[in-house]
Amino acid sequence: MSVPQPNPALRDKYAIAGTGTSRLGQVPDVSSLGLMEEASANALSDAGLTAKDIDGLLVRGPDDIYTFHQVLGERLGINASFSTTTTNGGASQILSVILAVMAIDAGLASVVLCGFGRDAWSRTHRTEQARISGATRSAAMDTQEFGPEYGLFGAPAMHAFGARRHMHEFGTTREQFGAISLAFREHAQRNPQAQMLGRPLTMEDYLAARMIVEPFCLLDCSLRSDGAGAVIVTSTERARDMKQKPVLIKGFGTHNNLRGWFDGDNMLRTAAGPSGQRAYAMAGLGPKDIDCAQIYDCFTYMVLTQLEDYGFCKKGEGGDFVSSGTLALDGALPTNTSGGQLSETHNEGMLQIVEGARQLQGIYGPDRQVPAAETCLVSGHGGNTVCHSSLILGAA
Amino acid sequence: MAKEYTKPLPRPAPESEPFWAAARDHKLKIQKCRSCGNHWFPPSEHCPECLSADHDWIEASGRGRVFSFVTYQRLYNKGWEGEVPYVVALIELDEGPRLLSNLTGIAPENVACDMAVKVVFDDVTPEVTLPKFTPA
Ligand SMILES: [Zn+2]
Protein backbone atom coordinates (compact mmCIF):
# COMPACT_ATOMS: atom_id res chain seq x y z
CA MET A 1 0.00 0.00 0.00
CA SER A 2 1.49 3.34 -0.99
CA VAL A 3 1.65 6.14 1.59
CA PRO A 4 -0.84 8.90 0.74
CA GLN A 5 0.65 12.30 -0.11
CA PRO A 6 -1.34 15.48 -0.74
CA ASN A 7 -1.16 16.76 -4.30
CA PRO A 8 1.60 19.42 -4.64
CA ALA A 9 -0.31 20.87 -7.62
CA LEU A 10 -2.68 22.37 -5.03
CA ARG A 11 0.18 24.37 -3.48
CA ASP A 12 -0.67 28.12 -3.46
CA LYS A 13 -3.81 27.51 -5.53
CA TYR A 14 -6.11 28.28 -2.58
CA ALA A 15 -5.94 30.99 0.03
CA ILE A 16 -7.38 32.45 3.19
CA ALA A 17 -9.18 35.63 2.16
CA GLY A 18 -10.43 36.89 5.50
CA THR A 19 -10.29 36.24 9.23
CA GLY A 20 -12.55 37.06 12.16
CA THR A 21 -13.01 36.45 15.84
CA SER A 22 -15.81 37.00 18.32
CA ARG A 23 -15.47 38.52 21.76
CA LEU A 24 -13.13 36.20 23.69
CA GLY A 25 -12.78 35.00 27.25
CA GLN A 26 -15.84 35.26 29.47
CA VAL A 27 -18.92 36.03 27.36
CA PRO A 28 -21.86 34.63 29.35
CA ASP A 29 -24.59 36.55 27.49
CA VAL A 30 -24.27 34.50 24.31
CA SER A 31 -24.11 30.80 23.31
CA SER A 32 -21.47 29.05 21.21
CA LEU A 33 -23.71 29.67 18.18
CA GLY A 34 -23.96 33.37 18.93
CA LEU A 35 -20.18 33.57 19.25
CA MET A 36 -19.85 31.74 15.93
CA GLU A 37 -22.20 34.28 14.31
CA GLU A 38 -19.99 37.13 15.56
CA ALA A 39 -16.80 35.54 14.23
CA SER A 40 -18.47 34.69 10.91
CA ALA A 41 -19.75 38.24 10.43
CA ASN A 42 -16.30 39.63 11.23
CA ALA A 43 -14.51 37.25 8.83
CA LEU A 44 -16.97 38.04 6.02
CA SER A 45 -16.59 41.77 6.60
CA ASP A 46 -12.78 41.39 6.67
CA ALA A 47 -12.95 39.76 3.22
CA GLY A 48 -15.47 42.32 1.97
CA LEU A 49 -18.18 39.67 1.59
CA THR A 50 -21.69 39.02 2.87
CA ALA A 51 -23.10 35.67 4.01
CA LYS A 52 -24.85 35.33 0.63
CA ASP A 53 -21.40 35.18 -1.04
CA ILE A 54 -20.45 31.90 0.63
CA ASP A 55 -21.57 28.50 -0.62
CA GLY A 56 -19.65 26.30 1.80
CA LEU A 57 -19.82 26.08 5.59
CA LEU A 58 -17.37 23.86 7.50
CA VAL A 59 -17.75 24.63 11.16
CA ARG A 60 -17.84 23.03 14.56
CA GLY A 61 -19.15 23.84 18.00
CA PRO A 62 -19.52 21.92 21.25
CA ASP A 63 -19.80 18.23 20.33
CA ASP A 64 -23.26 17.91 21.87
CA ILE A 65 -24.87 20.28 19.37
CA TYR A 66 -26.17 18.11 16.55
CA THR A 67 -25.18 19.30 13.02
CA PHE A 68 -23.78 22.61 14.23
CA HIS A 69 -23.31 23.74 10.62
CA GLN A 70 -27.05 23.52 9.94
CA VAL A 71 -27.97 25.55 13.01
CA LEU A 72 -25.35 28.16 12.14
CA GLY A 73 -26.47 28.26 8.48
CA GLU A 74 -30.00 28.96 9.67
CA ARG A 75 -28.74 31.85 11.77
CA LEU A 76 -26.61 33.20 8.90
CA GLY A 77 -29.58 32.87 6.55
CA ILE A 78 -27.82 30.75 3.94
CA ASN A 79 -28.04 27.48 2.11
CA ALA A 80 -24.80 25.80 1.07
CA SER A 81 -23.71 23.51 -1.74
CA PHE A 82 -21.24 21.93 0.71
CA SER A 83 -21.35 21.91 4.50
CA THR A 84 -20.70 19.66 7.46
CA THR A 85 -19.65 19.58 11.10
CA THR A 86 -16.24 18.06 11.75
CA THR A 87 -15.63 15.87 14.81
CA ASN A 88 -11.86 15.43 15.17
CA GLY A 89 -11.61 17.55 18.32
CA GLY A 90 -8.81 20.10 18.16
CA ALA A 91 -7.69 18.71 14.79
CA SER A 92 -11.06 19.63 13.27
CA GLN A 93 -10.39 23.28 12.57
CA ILE A 94 -7.43 22.81 10.21
CA LEU A 95 -9.28 19.80 8.82
CA SER A 96 -12.11 22.18 7.87
CA VAL A 97 -9.66 24.34 5.91
CA ILE A 98 -8.34 21.21 4.17
CA LEU A 99 -11.87 20.03 3.37
CA ALA A 100 -12.66 23.49 2.03
CA VAL A 101 -9.76 23.26 -0.43
CA MET A 102 -10.84 19.74 -1.43
CA ALA A 103 -14.45 20.82 -1.92
CA ILE A 104 -13.53 23.87 -4.00
CA ASP A 105 -11.08 21.83 -6.08
CA ALA A 106 -13.80 19.22 -6.67
CA GLY A 107 -16.29 21.88 -7.73
CA LEU A 108 -18.61 21.47 -4.77
CA ALA A 109 -18.14 25.01 -3.44
CA SER A 110 -16.31 28.22 -4.30
CA VAL A 111 -16.15 30.34 -1.15
CA VAL A 112 -16.13 28.48 2.17
CA LEU A 113 -16.39 29.75 5.71
CA CYS A 114 -14.49 27.59 8.22
CA GLY A 115 -14.87 28.16 11.92
CA PHE A 116 -15.24 27.01 15.49
CA GLY A 117 -17.15 28.40 18.45
CA ARG A 118 -17.40 27.27 22.04
CA ASP A 119 -18.80 28.50 25.35
CA ALA A 120 -16.53 26.43 27.59
CA TRP A 121 -16.11 29.10 30.27
CA SER A 122 -19.82 29.75 30.57
CA ARG A 123 -20.66 26.03 30.63
CA THR A 124 -18.32 25.37 33.54
CA HIS A 125 -19.42 28.37 35.58
CA ARG A 126 -23.19 27.93 35.49
CA THR A 127 -23.40 25.36 38.35
CA GLU A 128 -21.27 24.05 41.21
CA GLN A 129 -21.19 20.48 39.82
CA ALA A 130 -20.15 21.80 36.41
CA ARG A 131 -17.31 23.67 38.09
CA ILE A 132 -16.06 20.60 40.00
CA SER A 133 -16.20 18.20 37.08
CA GLY A 134 -14.85 20.82 34.69
CA ALA A 135 -16.69 18.97 31.94
CA THR A 136 -17.25 20.94 28.76
CA ARG A 137 -19.24 18.12 27.23
CA SER A 138 -22.08 16.02 28.56
CA ALA A 139 -21.31 13.09 30.89
CA ALA A 140 -23.24 10.73 28.60
CA MET A 141 -20.45 11.10 26.04
CA ASP A 142 -17.75 9.82 28.35
CA THR A 143 -16.55 6.24 28.48
CA GLN A 144 -18.23 4.38 31.30
CA GLU A 145 -15.57 1.72 31.90
CA PHE A 146 -11.78 1.37 32.02
CA GLY A 147 -11.31 4.94 33.26
CA PRO A 148 -13.84 6.73 35.48
CA GLU A 149 -14.07 3.87 37.97
CA TYR A 150 -10.34 4.35 38.60
CA GLY A 151 -10.70 8.11 38.94
CA LEU A 152 -9.63 9.08 35.42
CA PHE A 153 -11.36 12.34 34.59
CA GLY A 154 -10.55 15.29 32.39
CA ALA A 155 -8.20 16.10 29.55
CA PRO A 156 -5.17 17.08 31.68
CA ALA A 157 -4.62 13.49 32.84
CA MET A 158 -4.63 12.02 29.35
CA HIS A 159 -1.90 14.39 28.20
CA ALA A 160 -0.04 14.11 31.53
CA PHE A 161 0.58 10.40 30.84
CA GLY A 162 2.63 11.48 27.82
CA ALA A 163 4.44 14.19 29.76
CA ARG A 164 5.38 11.73 32.52
CA ARG A 165 6.72 9.14 30.08
CA HIS A 166 8.66 11.83 28.18
CA MET A 167 10.26 12.95 31.47
CA HIS A 168 11.15 9.33 32.21
CA GLU A 169 12.65 8.52 28.80
CA PHE A 170 14.39 11.80 27.98
CA GLY A 171 14.96 13.55 31.31
CA THR A 172 12.57 16.38 30.44
CA THR A 173 11.87 18.64 33.44
CA ARG A 174 8.96 20.66 34.76
CA GLU A 175 11.03 23.83 34.28
CA GLN A 176 11.17 23.01 30.56
CA PHE A 177 7.38 22.72 30.41
CA GLY A 178 7.34 26.00 32.32
CA ALA A 179 9.50 27.69 29.68
CA ILE A 180 6.71 27.05 27.16
CA SER A 181 4.09 28.50 29.47
CA LEU A 182 6.23 31.60 30.12
CA ALA A 183 7.02 32.21 26.45
CA PHE A 184 3.35 32.25 25.45
CA ARG A 185 2.38 34.34 28.47
CA GLU A 186 4.92 36.94 27.36
CA HIS A 187 3.32 37.02 23.90
CA ALA A 188 -0.11 37.54 25.49
CA GLN A 189 1.15 40.79 27.04
CA ARG A 190 1.29 42.16 23.46
CA ASN A 191 -2.24 41.02 22.55
CA PRO A 192 -5.12 43.29 23.63
CA GLN A 193 -7.59 40.36 23.19
CA ALA A 194 -5.66 37.93 25.40
CA GLN A 195 -7.30 36.64 28.57
CA MET A 196 -3.94 36.76 30.33
CA LEU A 197 -3.10 40.32 29.29
CA GLY A 198 -1.71 42.17 32.30
CA ARG A 199 -0.75 38.97 34.10
CA PRO A 200 2.93 38.32 33.29
CA LEU A 201 4.53 35.18 34.65
CA THR A 202 7.89 34.20 36.15
CA MET A 203 9.42 30.74 36.61
CA GLU A 204 8.91 31.20 40.37
CA ASP A 205 5.18 31.71 39.74
CA TYR A 206 5.12 28.61 37.53
CA LEU A 207 6.86 26.38 40.08
CA ALA A 208 4.62 27.68 42.89
CA ALA A 209 1.38 27.12 40.96
CA ARG A 210 -1.26 24.70 42.19
CA MET A 211 -0.77 21.15 40.93
CA ILE A 212 -3.72 19.78 38.95
CA VAL A 213 -2.76 16.31 37.71
CA GLU A 214 0.97 15.74 38.14
CA PRO A 215 3.19 16.40 36.34
CA PHE A 216 0.90 19.28 35.27
CA CYS A 217 0.21 22.36 37.33
CA LEU A 218 -2.45 24.94 36.53
CA LEU A 219 -0.04 26.81 34.24
CA ASP A 220 0.56 23.74 32.05
CA CYS A 221 -3.14 23.73 31.19
CA SER A 222 -4.84 25.88 28.57
CA LEU A 223 -7.48 28.40 29.51
CA ARG A 224 -11.19 27.85 29.85
CA SER A 225 -12.74 30.23 27.36
CA ASP A 226 -15.76 31.37 25.46
CA GLY A 227 -15.01 32.46 21.91
CA ALA A 228 -15.12 31.78 18.20
CA GLY A 229 -12.95 32.25 15.15
CA ALA A 230 -13.53 32.01 11.41
CA VAL A 231 -11.62 32.18 8.14
CA ILE A 232 -12.78 32.44 4.52
CA VAL A 233 -11.20 29.97 2.08
CA THR A 234 -11.37 30.45 -1.69
CA SER A 235 -9.16 30.22 -4.78
CA THR A 236 -6.09 32.46 -4.70
CA GLU A 237 -7.28 33.95 -7.98
CA ARG A 238 -10.58 34.98 -6.44
CA ALA A 239 -8.97 36.07 -3.19
CA ARG A 240 -6.80 38.57 -5.08
CA ASP A 241 -9.98 40.48 -5.99
CA MET A 242 -11.13 40.66 -2.37
CA LYS A 243 -10.40 43.25 0.28
CA GLN A 244 -7.38 41.72 2.08
CA LYS A 245 -4.00 40.47 1.05
CA PRO A 246 -4.54 36.71 0.50
CA VAL A 247 -2.68 34.19 2.65
CA LEU A 248 -1.53 31.26 0.55
CA ILE A 249 -2.28 27.68 1.57
CA LYS A 250 1.06 26.10 0.71
CA GLY A 251 0.70 22.69 2.25
CA PHE A 252 -1.40 20.55 4.52
CA GLY A 253 -1.47 17.09 6.01
CA THR A 254 -3.35 14.92 8.42
CA HIS A 255 -2.66 11.79 10.42
CA ASN A 256 -4.80 10.09 13.03
CA ASN A 257 -3.38 7.47 15.39
CA LEU A 258 -6.75 5.79 15.73
CA ARG A 259 -5.30 2.90 17.73
CA GLY A 260 -5.21 5.31 20.61
CA TRP A 261 -3.01 7.47 22.79
CA PHE A 262 -2.12 4.45 24.96
CA ASP A 263 -1.02 2.29 22.03
CA GLY A 264 2.65 1.77 21.23
CA ASP A 265 4.70 4.96 21.23
CA ASN A 266 1.81 7.29 20.36
CA MET A 267 2.09 9.43 23.49
CA LEU A 268 5.78 10.11 22.75
CA ARG A 269 5.76 10.27 18.93
CA THR A 270 2.47 11.85 18.00
CA ALA A 271 0.53 11.95 14.75
CA ALA A 272 2.13 15.37 14.16
CA GLY A 273 5.11 13.48 12.67
CA PRO A 274 3.45 11.91 9.60
CA SER A 275 0.95 14.77 9.30
CA GLY A 276 3.79 17.30 9.21
CA GLN A 277 5.79 15.30 6.67
CA ARG A 278 2.81 15.40 4.31
CA ALA A 279 2.40 19.15 4.75
CA TYR A 280 6.13 19.80 4.22
CA ALA A 281 6.16 17.63 1.08
CA MET A 282 3.14 19.42 -0.41
CA ALA A 283 4.61 22.85 0.38
CA GLY A 284 8.08 21.88 -0.84
CA LEU A 285 9.44 23.14 2.48
CA GLY A 286 11.13 21.75 5.57
CA PRO A 287 11.33 22.80 9.22
CA LYS A 288 14.21 25.19 8.49
CA ASP A 289 11.98 27.15 6.08
CA ILE A 290 9.33 27.93 8.70
CA ASP A 291 9.43 31.52 10.02
CA CYS A 292 6.89 31.19 12.79
CA ALA A 293 4.62 28.51 14.26
CA GLN A 294 1.22 28.29 15.92
CA ILE A 295 1.34 24.93 17.71
CA TYR A 296 -1.75 23.40 19.31
CA ASP A 297 -1.16 24.07 22.99
CA CYS A 298 -3.86 22.39 25.00
CA PHE A 299 -1.06 21.52 27.45
CA THR A 300 2.61 22.52 27.56
CA TYR A 301 3.84 19.00 26.91
CA MET A 302 1.91 18.83 23.64
CA VAL A 303 3.91 21.79 22.31
CA LEU A 304 7.18 20.14 23.30
CA THR A 305 6.44 16.82 21.62
CA GLN A 306 5.01 18.45 18.48
CA LEU A 307 8.11 20.63 18.04
CA GLU A 308 10.09 17.39 18.05
CA ASP A 309 7.61 15.57 15.82
CA TYR A 310 7.67 18.43 13.28
CA GLY A 311 11.46 18.14 13.12
CA PHE A 312 12.39 21.49 14.67
CA CYS A 313 14.65 19.48 16.98
CA LYS A 314 15.39 15.80 17.55
CA LYS A 315 13.07 13.54 19.53
CA GLY A 316 13.94 13.91 23.19
CA GLU A 317 15.64 17.31 22.76
CA GLY A 318 12.48 19.40 23.00
CA GLY A 319 13.25 20.40 26.58
CA ASP A 320 16.52 22.11 25.66
CA PHE A 321 14.94 23.55 22.51
CA VAL A 322 12.13 25.36 24.32
CA SER A 323 14.22 26.61 27.23
CA SER A 324 16.75 28.48 25.09
CA GLY A 325 14.54 31.41 24.06
CA THR A 326 13.64 29.86 20.71
CA LEU A 327 9.89 30.43 21.04
CA ALA A 328 10.15 34.19 21.77
CA LEU A 329 9.10 36.80 19.24
CA ASP A 330 12.79 37.49 18.53
CA GLY A 331 13.77 33.82 18.81
CA ALA A 332 14.62 31.36 16.04
CA LEU A 333 11.03 30.06 15.87
CA PRO A 334 8.50 32.58 17.23
CA THR A 335 5.70 30.31 18.42
CA ASN A 336 2.12 31.01 19.51
CA THR A 337 2.60 34.71 18.92
CA SER A 338 -0.91 35.55 20.18
CA GLY A 339 -0.32 33.85 23.52
CA GLY A 340 -1.92 30.65 22.24
CA GLN A 341 -4.47 28.61 24.12
CA LEU A 342 -2.35 28.78 27.25
CA SER A 343 -2.57 32.58 27.45
CA GLU A 344 -4.80 34.13 24.74
CA THR A 345 -7.96 32.00 24.57
CA HIS A 346 -8.63 28.28 24.21
CA ASN A 347 -10.53 27.93 20.96
CA GLU A 348 -9.46 24.41 19.91
CA GLY A 349 -6.93 25.77 17.46
CA MET A 350 -9.20 28.02 15.39
CA LEU A 351 -7.64 31.23 16.66
CA GLN A 352 -4.21 29.85 15.82
CA ILE A 353 -5.19 29.66 12.15
CA VAL A 354 -6.40 33.27 12.43
CA GLU A 355 -3.14 34.34 14.10
CA GLY A 356 -0.99 32.54 11.51
CA ALA A 357 -2.88 34.22 8.66
CA ARG A 358 -2.65 37.67 10.24
CA GLN A 359 1.09 37.36 10.87
CA LEU A 360 1.57 36.62 7.16
CA GLN A 361 -0.63 39.58 6.20
CA GLY A 362 1.77 41.64 8.31
CA ILE A 363 -1.03 43.53 10.00
CA TYR A 364 0.56 43.92 13.42
CA GLY A 365 2.71 46.68 14.89
CA PRO A 366 6.37 46.07 15.68
CA ASP A 367 5.60 44.88 19.22
CA ARG A 368 3.73 41.82 17.93
CA GLN A 369 4.71 41.31 14.29
CA VAL A 370 7.17 38.54 13.41
CA PRO A 371 9.58 40.48 11.18
CA ALA A 372 9.54 39.45 7.49
CA ALA A 373 7.40 36.36 8.15
CA GLU A 374 6.92 34.48 4.87
CA THR A 375 5.78 31.10 6.22
CA CYS A 376 3.84 29.85 9.22
CA LEU A 377 3.18 26.30 10.39
CA VAL A 378 -0.13 25.81 12.19
CA SER A 379 -1.02 22.57 13.97
CA GLY A 380 -4.24 21.13 15.33
CA HIS A 381 -4.48 18.16 17.67
CA GLY A 382 -7.32 16.39 19.44
CA GLY A 383 -10.00 13.74 19.17
CA ASN A 384 -8.98 11.64 22.17
CA THR A 385 -5.45 12.99 21.73
CA VAL A 386 -4.67 11.15 18.49
CA CYS A 387 -6.05 13.17 15.55
CA HIS A 388 -3.71 15.68 13.95
CA SER A 389 -3.92 18.23 11.14
CA SER A 390 -1.15 20.47 9.79
CA LEU A 391 -1.30 23.64 7.72
CA ILE A 392 1.55 25.57 6.15
CA LEU A 393 0.59 29.12 5.22
CA GLY A 394 2.61 31.55 3.12
CA ALA A 395 2.64 35.29 2.45
CA ALA A 396 1.29 36.20 -1.00
CA MET B 1 -21.08 0.34 59.24
CA ALA B 2 -19.09 0.29 56.02
CA LYS B 3 -18.90 3.59 54.23
CA GLU B 4 -21.18 3.76 51.21
CA TYR B 5 -19.29 3.36 47.93
CA THR B 6 -19.69 6.65 46.09
CA LYS B 7 -17.25 6.33 43.19
CA PRO B 8 -18.59 5.68 39.69
CA LEU B 9 -19.04 2.01 38.86
CA PRO B 10 -18.25 0.55 35.44
CA ARG B 11 -21.15 0.42 33.00
CA PRO B 12 -19.75 -2.29 30.73
CA ALA B 13 -20.30 -2.62 27.03
CA PRO B 14 -21.66 -6.11 26.20
CA GLU B 15 -18.24 -7.05 24.78
CA SER B 16 -16.63 -6.36 28.18
CA GLU B 17 -18.90 -8.51 30.34
CA PRO B 18 -16.46 -11.49 30.46
CA PHE B 19 -13.73 -9.19 31.80
CA TRP B 20 -15.90 -7.96 34.68
CA ALA B 21 -17.31 -11.44 35.39
CA ALA B 22 -13.74 -12.78 35.69
CA ALA B 23 -12.77 -9.89 37.97
CA ARG B 24 -15.58 -10.89 40.34
CA ASP B 25 -13.83 -14.31 40.53
CA HIS B 26 -10.50 -12.56 41.15
CA LYS B 27 -9.13 -13.41 37.73
CA LEU B 28 -7.66 -10.96 35.23
CA LYS B 29 -8.83 -12.09 31.82
CA ILE B 30 -7.98 -10.67 28.40
CA GLN B 31 -8.74 -11.81 24.87
CA LYS B 32 -6.33 -13.97 22.84
CA CYS B 33 -6.73 -14.54 19.11
CA ARG B 34 -6.92 -18.19 18.03
CA SER B 35 -5.82 -17.23 14.56
CA CYS B 36 -2.70 -15.08 15.15
CA GLY B 37 -2.02 -15.42 18.88
CA ASN B 38 -2.42 -11.68 19.58
CA HIS B 39 -3.52 -10.62 23.08
CA TRP B 40 -5.67 -7.52 23.27
CA PHE B 41 -7.48 -5.10 25.54
CA PRO B 42 -9.89 -3.27 25.76
CA PRO B 43 -12.38 -5.91 24.64
CA SER B 44 -13.75 -6.06 21.11
CA GLU B 45 -15.38 -8.69 18.95
CA HIS B 46 -12.60 -9.05 16.39
CA CYS B 47 -8.82 -9.28 16.82
CA PRO B 48 -7.35 -5.81 16.07
CA GLU B 49 -4.34 -7.44 14.38
CA CYS B 50 -6.01 -9.90 11.99
CA LEU B 51 -9.77 -9.25 12.35
CA SER B 52 -10.45 -12.87 13.28
CA ALA B 53 -13.57 -13.29 15.41
CA ASP B 54 -12.18 -16.52 16.83
CA HIS B 55 -10.73 -15.85 20.27
CA ASP B 56 -10.49 -17.09 23.85
CA TRP B 57 -10.69 -15.20 27.12
CA ILE B 58 -7.46 -16.30 28.81
CA GLU B 59 -6.28 -15.60 32.33
CA ALA B 60 -3.39 -13.15 32.18
CA SER B 61 -0.32 -13.58 34.36
CA GLY B 62 -1.36 -10.46 36.25
CA ARG B 63 2.20 -9.18 36.04
CA GLY B 64 3.38 -6.10 34.22
CA ARG B 65 4.98 -2.69 34.55
CA VAL B 66 3.86 0.90 35.01
CA PHE B 67 4.20 2.40 31.53
CA SER B 68 3.16 5.83 32.77
CA PHE B 69 1.12 7.36 35.57
CA VAL B 70 -0.50 10.59 36.72
CA THR B 71 -1.14 11.88 40.21
CA TYR B 72 -4.41 13.69 40.85
CA GLN B 73 -3.94 16.70 43.12
CA ARG B 74 -7.29 18.24 42.23
CA LEU B 75 -10.68 16.75 43.04
CA TYR B 76 -12.70 15.99 39.89
CA ASN B 77 -15.37 13.75 41.42
CA LYS B 78 -16.78 13.74 44.94
CA GLY B 79 -16.22 9.98 45.19
CA TRP B 80 -12.52 10.74 45.80
CA GLU B 81 -13.11 13.37 48.50
CA GLY B 82 -10.41 12.91 51.17
CA GLU B 83 -8.39 10.56 48.92
CA VAL B 84 -6.46 13.16 46.91
CA PRO B 85 -3.65 12.76 45.94
CA TYR B 86 -4.25 9.47 44.14
CA VAL B 87 -2.52 7.77 41.21
CA VAL B 88 -4.01 6.50 37.96
CA ALA B 89 -1.50 4.27 36.19
CA LEU B 90 -1.26 2.84 32.72
CA ILE B 91 -0.21 -0.77 33.26
CA GLU B 92 1.47 -2.74 30.50
CA LEU B 93 0.80 -6.43 31.10
CA ASP B 94 3.54 -8.96 30.35
CA GLU B 95 1.24 -10.26 27.60
CA GLY B 96 1.38 -6.82 25.90
CA PRO B 97 -1.96 -5.07 26.36
CA ARG B 98 -2.19 -1.91 28.47
CA LEU B 99 -4.94 -0.99 30.89
CA LEU B 100 -5.68 1.84 33.30
CA SER B 101 -5.84 1.08 36.99
CA ASN B 102 -4.94 2.27 40.47
CA LEU B 103 -1.90 1.32 42.53
CA THR B 104 -2.27 0.07 46.07
CA GLY B 105 0.32 -0.43 48.80
CA ILE B 106 2.55 2.41 47.61
CA ALA B 107 2.57 6.15 48.27
CA PRO B 108 2.07 8.35 45.16
CA GLU B 109 5.53 9.92 45.53
CA ASN B 110 7.20 6.51 45.29
CA VAL B 111 5.60 5.46 42.01
CA ALA B 112 7.92 5.36 38.98
CA CYS B 113 7.64 4.50 35.31
CA ASP B 114 8.69 0.90 34.48
CA MET B 115 8.28 -0.36 38.06
CA ALA B 116 7.12 -4.00 38.20
CA VAL B 117 3.58 -4.60 39.45
CA LYS B 118 1.14 -7.45 39.95
CA VAL B 119 -2.63 -7.56 40.03
CA VAL B 120 -4.75 -7.49 43.19
CA PHE B 121 -8.53 -7.45 43.39
CA ASP B 122 -10.66 -4.86 45.16
CA ASP B 123 -14.24 -5.95 45.84
CA VAL B 124 -15.71 -2.46 45.89
CA THR B 125 -19.36 -3.64 46.05
CA PRO B 126 -20.93 -7.12 46.27
CA GLU B 127 -21.37 -7.05 42.48
CA VAL B 128 -18.27 -5.19 41.29
CA THR B 129 -14.58 -6.03 41.65
CA LEU B 130 -11.89 -3.72 40.26
CA PRO B 131 -8.53 -5.20 39.27
CA LYS B 132 -5.82 -2.99 40.77
CA PHE B 133 -2.03 -3.30 40.96
CA THR B 134 0.62 -3.35 43.66
CA PRO B 135 4.45 -3.38 43.49
CA ALA B 136 5.69 -6.87 42.57
ZN1 LIG C 1 -5.55 -12.15 15.36
pLDDT in tens, A216-261: 999 999 999 999 999 999 999 999 999 999 999 999 999 999 999 9
Residue B70 with chain A: CB contacts under 8 Å: 157, 160-161, 164, 213-215
If pLDDT is split at 50, 70 and 90, which confidence band does A125 have? confident
Task: Please tell me the predicted confidence (pLDDT) of residue A341.
Answer: 98
Three-class HEC string of chain A: CCCCCCCHHHCCCEEEEEEEECCCECCCCCCHHHHHHHHHHHHHHHHCCCHHHCCEEEEECCCCCCCHHHHHHHHHCCCCCEEEECCCHHHHHHHHHHHHHHHHHCCCCCEEEEEEEEEHHHHCCCCHHHHHHCCCCCHHHCCCCCCHHHCCCCHHHHHHHHHHHHHHHHCCCHHHHHHHHHHHHHHHCCCCCCCCCCCCCCHHHHHHCCEEEECEEHHHECCCCEEEEEEEEEEHHHHCCCCCCCEEEEEEEEEECCCCCCCCCCCCCCCHHHHHHHHHHHHCCCHHHCCEEECCCCEHHHHHHHHHHCCCCCCCCHHHHHCCCCCCCCCCCCECCCCHHHHCCCCCCHHHHHHHHHHHHCCCCCCCCCCCCCEEEEEEEECCCCEEEEEEEEEC
Q: What is the mean pLDDT of chain A?
A: 95
Q: In chain A, what are the domains?
A: 8-122+223-395 (3.40.47.10)
Q: Is A145 on the interface with B (CB under 8 A)?
A: yes
- The beta-carbon neighbor of A164 closest among B20, B77, B113 is B113
CA distance A263 to chain B (A): 8
- pLDDT tens for residues A338-388? 999 999 999 999 999 999 999 999 999 999 999 999 999 999 999 999 999
Report ipTM for this prediction: 0.97
- The beta-carbon neighbor of A133 closest among B42, B48, B76 is B76
Q: How many CB pairs under 8 A join A and B?
A: 95
CA distance A146 to chain B (A): 6
Task: Please tell me the predicted confidence (pLDDT) of residue B1.
Answer: 47
- The beta-carbon neighbor of A148 closest among B8, B13, B90 is B8
- pLDDT tens for residues B85-120? 999 999 999 999 999 999 999 999 999 999 999 999
Q: Is A115 on the interface with B (CB under 8 A)?
A: no
Q: Is B105 on the interface with A (CB under 8 A)?
A: no
- pLDDT above 80 for A325: yes
